[in-house]
């Protein structure tokens, strides 16, 4: 279940040095992975580069068929994959199964979408010329993925890459490598040829440096922190690679007096506490119109207080542990800072220190002000600060006052008000009366420092393609 080797050129490889992986709910060691470095990173690019020569030549239909076999195998192994994920990442089994289904939706979507990589013909300005545009796979793709969605962040990159005809070198997060390795094993079982998917585990920087500097890697796709995204962006300039970056977020959620309050409460809980608050699209700040603030706050707090914290393997758990101790420390520091600046804790507020595991209670704070850390620094944990407004335009201004621009949420039943707010928000994804907008067929990505490019949807495959213009003289 917990594979302890990495996959390069169809071979499962060990290294002398290894890294331990722990269960965040128990702090116990689950297993270990190879601590690969520059040598393995290089071998992976060699393999991917070799495999590209044949994989890129196969038809999209042929590649799509193999992707659908992979899809099928993932579906058949959903319970095992969910258990691996919960054990290494912490999220509840319910959420883990949901993530596997979500991950798989990228595979089936792109298996089809690969067949629709259309070109163009353009009218020429001379009668004896013909102008064509065709699209072709960009080449070897390097993918670096985070721990919060150990499966979905991988398939969202690998499925379009493979469908387009690219080959991949992947470095999953060292916190959650086992889901990635099992997915790769299923890809192999599905018949995806050797060298098309290579997984290198180990410390990030030495692996990533090799990929950054190797001119054969034509595209780097990354999901993770804005800090690392910036390092990769400058590193990729060395060989001018195409880049996709899905970075941090600081999602505002605006509720006006014209909202359907039951819906707003339910969706705010879902958006804030999904994965224990550890998603880049999780609500980070709640802005509620003064006249309905009390009603919202009371109902929201009551629902949050019902959330059950525990080991994700326990079926009754809603919220598992955070990924590690520093994640808990960050949330604790934000709570302390908020209280010091006048915030009032309505529920939660404590880390669970009398047991093993990185648990912290789902927390609601009212009277939040924009100078609190939680109102401008990404929380990545189960803390919901609530602030009020009397003027919608003021709420929009405050919501936009962030270097991030990934997701934002708006709750109102008034169509004019909705359009006004949605158009003014500087965010790439808007959930309008919807706390869960992500879908394989929709473009996911952010404005400003939240990233570059879009994943998912028909746009998501473009990032793995080069455009070739052919001018034919007759």
Site for ligand ADP contains 145 (CB under 6 A): yes
Among residues 87 and 148, whose Cβ is nearest to ligand ADP? 148
Among residues 64 and 446, whose Cβ is nearest to ligand ADP? 446
**What DSSP state is assigned to residue 275?**
G
Site for ligand ADP contains 133 (CB under 6 A): no
- Which of 86, 87, 103, 173 forms a contact with ligand ADP (CB under 6 A)? 173
Site for ligand ADP contains 205 (CB under 6 A): yes
CA 100/CA 325 separation, integer angstroms? 26
Site for ligand ADP contains 301 (CB under 6 A): no
CA 380/CA 357 separation, integer angstroms? 17
- Burial of 206-218, coded b for 16+ CB within 10 Å and e otherwise, reads ebbbbbbebeebb
Using the rule CB under 6 A, give the single segment among 130-138, 220-228, 257-265, 437-445 that binds ligand ADP: 220-228
Active-site position among 99, 113, 280, 361: 280
Size of the site for ligand ADP (CB under 6 A): 15
Among residues 224 and 277, whose Cβ is nearest to ligand ADP? 224
Site for ligand ADP contains 297 (CB under 6 A): no
Please, which residues have CB within 8 angstroms of residue 431's CB and are 6 or more apart in sequence? Answer: 267, 271, 407, 408, 409, 410, 437
Using the rule CB under 6 A, give the single segment among 48-56, 88-96, 168-176, 419-427 that binds ligand ADP: 168-176
Closest CA to 35 of 22, 21, 18: 18
Please state the closest distance from residue 171 (CB atom) to ligand ADP, in A: 6
Site for ligand ADP contains 144 (CB under 6 A): yes
Please, which residues have CB within 8 angstroms of residue 420's CB and are 6 or more apart in sequence? Answer: 392
CA 280/CA 274 separation, integer angstroms? 10
Please state the closest distance from residue 277 (CB atom) to ligand ADP, in A: 13
- Which of 68, 204, 261, 339 forms a contact with ligand ADP (CB under 6 A)? 204
What does the block give as tokens for 371?
């100078």
φ, ψ for residue 393, nearest 5 deg:
-65, -30
Site for ligand ADP contains 185 (CB under 6 A): no
CA 464/CA 151 separation, integer angstroms? 20
Among residues 150 and 343, whose Cβ is nearest to ligand ADP? 150
Q: Are strands 167-171 and 197-199 parallel, antiparallel or unpaired?
A: parallel
Instruction: List the strands of the sheet with 129-137, edge to edge.
Output: 120-122, 129-137, 465-473
Site for ligand ADP contains 231 (CB under 6 A): yes
Site for ligand ADP contains 228 (CB under 6 A): yes
Q: How far is CA 400 from the centre of its chain?
A: 22
Annotated catalytic, 449? no
Annotated catalytic, 83? no
Cα atoms found within 13 Å of the Cα of residue 144, Cβ hemisphere only: 28
Please state the closest distance from residue 232 (CB atom) to ligand ADP, in A: 6
Instruction: List the strands of the sheet with 11-13, edge to edge.
Output: 11-13, 6-8, 197-199, 167-171, 140-144, 217-223, 242-246, 451-452
Please state the closest distance from residue 180 (CB atom) to ligand ADP, in A: 10
Cβ(155)–Cβ(107) below 8 Å: yes
CA 346/CA 385 separation, integer angstroms? 10
Instruction: Report CA Rg, the chain.
Output: 23
Please state the closest distance from residue 468 (CB atom) to ligand ADP, in A: 30
Active-site position among 246, 289, 378, 449: 246
CA 360/CA 353 separation, integer angstroms? 9
Site for ligand ADP contains 131 (CB under 6 A): no
Among residues 71 and 444, whose Cβ is nearest to ligand ADP? 444
Site for ligand ADP contains 292 (CB under 6 A): no
Site for ligand ADP contains 225 (CB under 6 A): yes
Residues near ligand ADP (CB under 6 A) are 144-147, 171, 173-174, 204-205, 208, 224-225, 228, 231-232
Which active-site residues does the annotation give? 246, 280
């Amino acid at each position: 279940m917990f594979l302890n080797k990495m996959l390069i050129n169809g071979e499962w490889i060990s290294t002398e040095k290894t890294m331990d992986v722990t269960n965040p709910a128990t702090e116990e060691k689950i297993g270990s992975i190879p601590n690969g470095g520059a040598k393995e990173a290089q071998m992976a690019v060699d393999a991917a580069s070799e495999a590209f020569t044949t994989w890129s030549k196969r038809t999209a239909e042929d590649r799509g068929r193999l992707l659908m076999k992979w899809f099928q195998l993932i579906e058949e192994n959903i319970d095992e994959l969910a258990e691996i994920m919960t054990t290494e990442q912490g999220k509840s089994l319910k959420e883990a199964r949901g993530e596997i289904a979500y991950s798989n939706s990228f595979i089936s979507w792109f298996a089809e979408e690969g067949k629709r990589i259309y070109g163009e013909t353009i009218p020429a300005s001379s009668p004896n010329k013909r102008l064509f545009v065709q699209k072709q796979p960009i080449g070897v793709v390097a993918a670096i993925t985070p721990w919060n969605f150990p499966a979905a962040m991988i398939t969202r990159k690998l499925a379009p890459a493979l469908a387009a005809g690219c080959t991949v070198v992947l470095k999953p997060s060292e916190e959650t490598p086992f889901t990635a390795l099992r997915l790769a094993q299923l890809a192999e079982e599905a018949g995806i040829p050797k060298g098309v998917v290579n997984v290198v585990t180990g410390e990030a920087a030495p692996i990533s440096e090799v990929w950054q500097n190797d001119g054969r890697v034509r595209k780097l796709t990354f999901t993770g922190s804005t800090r690392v995204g910036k390092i990769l962006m400058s590193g990729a300039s060395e060989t001018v690679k195409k880049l996709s970056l899905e970075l941090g977020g600081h999602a505002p959620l605006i509720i006006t007096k014209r909202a359907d309050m039951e819906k707003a409460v339910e969706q705010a809980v879902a958006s804030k506490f999904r994965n224990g608050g550890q998603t880049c699209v999780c609500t980070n700040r709640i802005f509620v119109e003064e006249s309905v603030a009390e009603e919202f706050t009371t109902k929201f707090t009551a629902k949050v207080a019902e959330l059950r914290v525990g080991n994700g393997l326990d079926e009754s758990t809603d919220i598992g542990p955070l990924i590690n101790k520093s994640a808990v420390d960050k949330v604790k520091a934000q709570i302390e800072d908020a209280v010091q600046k006048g915030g009032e804790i309505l529920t939660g507020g404590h880390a669970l220190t009398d047991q093993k595991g990185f648990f912290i209670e789902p927390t609601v704070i009212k009277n939040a002000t924009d100078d609190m850390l939680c109102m401008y620094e990404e929380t990545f944990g189960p803390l919901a600060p609530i602030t009020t407004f009397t003027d919608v335009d003021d709420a929009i201004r405050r919501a936009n006052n962030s270097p991030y621009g990934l997701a934002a949420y708006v709750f109102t039943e008034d169509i004019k008000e909705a359009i006004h707010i949605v158009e003014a928000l500087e965010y790439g994804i808007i959930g309008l009366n919807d706390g869960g907008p992500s879908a394989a067929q929709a473009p996911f990505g952010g404005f400003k420092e939240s990233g570059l490019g879009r994943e998912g949807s028909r746009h998501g495959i473009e990032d793995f393609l080069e455009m070739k213009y052919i001018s034919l003289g007759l």
